A and B are shown apart, each in its own frame.
Chain A
Amino acid sequence: GAGVSQTPSNKVTEKGKYVELRCDPISGHTALYWYRQSLGQGPEFLIYFQGTGAADDSGLPNDRFFAVRPEGSVSTLKIQRTERGDSAVYLCASSPEGRANSAFFGQGTRLTVV
Chain B
Amino acid sequence: GQQLNQSPQSMFIQEGEDVSMNCTSSSIFNTWLWYKQEPGEGPVLLIALYKAGELTSNGRLTAQFGITRKDSFLNISASIPSDVGIYFCAGRDKLTFGTGTRLQVTL
Residues of A within 8 A of B (CB): 4, 6, 33, 35, 41-45, 48, 56, 59, 91, 93, 99-108
Residue pair B43, A105 in contact (C-beta under 8 Å): yes
B99 touches A42 (CB 8 A): yes
Q: Check if A42 sits within 8 Å of B30, measured CB to CB.
A: no
Q: Check B48 against A102 for contact (C-beta < 8 Å).
A: yes
Select from chain B the residue with minimum beta-carbon distance to A91: B42
Q: How far is the CA of A109 from the CA of B40 in the complex (A)?
A: 10
**Which of A93, A100, A105 has a CB less than 8 Å from the CB of B93?**
A100
Whether A91 lies near B92 (C-beta < 8 A) is no
Collect the chain B residues with CB atoms within 8 Å of residue A105's CB: 35, 42-45
Q: In the complex, are the beta carbons of A45 and B96 less than 8 A apart?
A: yes
Give the docked Cα–Cα distance between A59 and B94 (Å). 10
Q: Does B98 contact A (CB under 8 A)?
A: yes
Residues of A within 8 A of B42 (CB): 4, 6, 91, 93, 105-108
Evaluate contact between A99 and B92: CB separation under 8 angstroms: yes
Dominant secondary structure of chain A at its interface with chain B: loop
A43 and B43: CB pair below 8 A? yes
Give Cα A100–Cα B50 distance, bound, in whole angstroms. 8
A42 in contact with B33 (CB, 8 Å): no
**Does B88 sit within 8 A of A, measured CB to CB?**
yes
Contact of A100 among B4, B30, B44, B97 (CB under 8 A): B30
Residues of B within 8 A of A99 (CB): 92-94
Q: Which A-B residue pairs are the 6 nearest by beta carbons?
A: A105-B42, A42-B97, A99-B93, A102-B48, A43-B97, A107-B42
User: Is B31 in the interface zone, CB < 8 Å from A?
Assistant: yes
B88/A43 in contact, CB under 8 A: yes
A16 and B92 CA atoms in complex are apart in Å by: 35
Q: Are B88 and A42 in contact (CB under 8 A)?
A: yes
Answer whether residue B95 sits at the interface, using C-beta atoms and an 8 A cutoff: yes
